[in-house]
Amino acid sequence: MEYTVYSDFTSAECYGLNEQLATLGVSGNIQWRGVQHEPALPLPMRTLDRRALDRIEAEITEVRRRVDGVVMHLPRGKPNTLKAIIAVASVMRQQPARAAVFRDALYRAYWRDGVDLSVMAELQHVADLVAVPRFVELDHPDADEMVENWDLDWATERLGGVPRVIRGDGKILWGLKPMHEATAFFRA
């Protein structure tokens, strides 16, 4: 069964789903498509105000309620994720065997360490940590085109927010579900 996941690095629910995928052992077997949840976020990341931090803290609490043992910390800001999404698409094109590990590491770098995913040097550092070869261009022009196509698919399908998982049989998993529901969806 094929699965297409639409996701963004700065969504707490997307991080929770990504951790569920890793736990279920299917992280490397999905078609991940990064879409920007908030494309107007600035470069580089800016510190969030108290109201925004409170909102993210509430989202983290909800993810922790649904995903036992998930490790998350309140990030100081929200980065524009376009460069990170293009970086994952670049690795998918040039080193597909490293793509899931790199993607997982980027989610964790943001949600555990507060890394600014809008900074290319930070993306390269994470790539180095997970052994993505240096010959991989993290901003490959063809990857940029892939990301544009993902955004077009996302808009055409009118799927709303993230995360969304579309199973090969057309069934859709909307948002982050408790582990037993995610397991049933991916094991069907």
Q: pLDDT tens per residue, the chain (188 residues)?
A: 899 999 999 999 999 999 999 999 999 899 999 999 899 999 999 999 999 999 999 999 999 999 999 999 999 999 999 999 999 999 999 999 999 999 999 999 999 999 999 999 999 999 999 999 999 999 999 999 999 999 998 888 777 789 999 999 999 999 999 999 999 999 98
Tell me how crowded residue 68 is: count the other CB atoms within 10 A of its CB: 9
What is the number of helices (H) and of strands (E) in the chain? 7, 4
Q: How is residue 118 written in tokens?
A: 């809008």
DSSP per-residue letters across 112-177 = HH---TT-HHHHHHHHHHTT--TTS-TT-HHHHHHHHHHHHHHHHHT--SS-EEEETTS-EEES--
Q: How far is the C-alpha of 154 from the C-alpha of 183, rounded, in Å?
A: 24
**Residue 148 pLDDT:** 96
**Residue 105 pLDDT:** 98
What's the fold here for domain 3-187?
Glutaredoxin (3.40.30)
Q: What are phi and psi of 109, to 5 degrees?
A: -60, -40
Question: How far out from the chain centre does Cα 68 lie?
Answer: 19
- ∠ CA 83-86-91, nearest 5°, is 125
**Residue 188 pLDDT:** 80
Q: How far is the C-alpha of 82 from the C-alpha of 88, rounded, in Å?
A: 10
Torsion, Cα 34 129 73 150, to 10 degrees, reads 0
pTM (predicted TM-score)? 0.96
Q: In what order do the strands lie in the sheet with 3-7?
A: 31-34, 3-7, 164-167, 172-174
**Residue 64 pLDDT:** 97
**Residue 52 pLDDT:** 95
Segment holding 187, helix H or strand E: helix 179-187
Domain boundaries, the chain: 3-187
**Residue 77 pLDDT:** 96
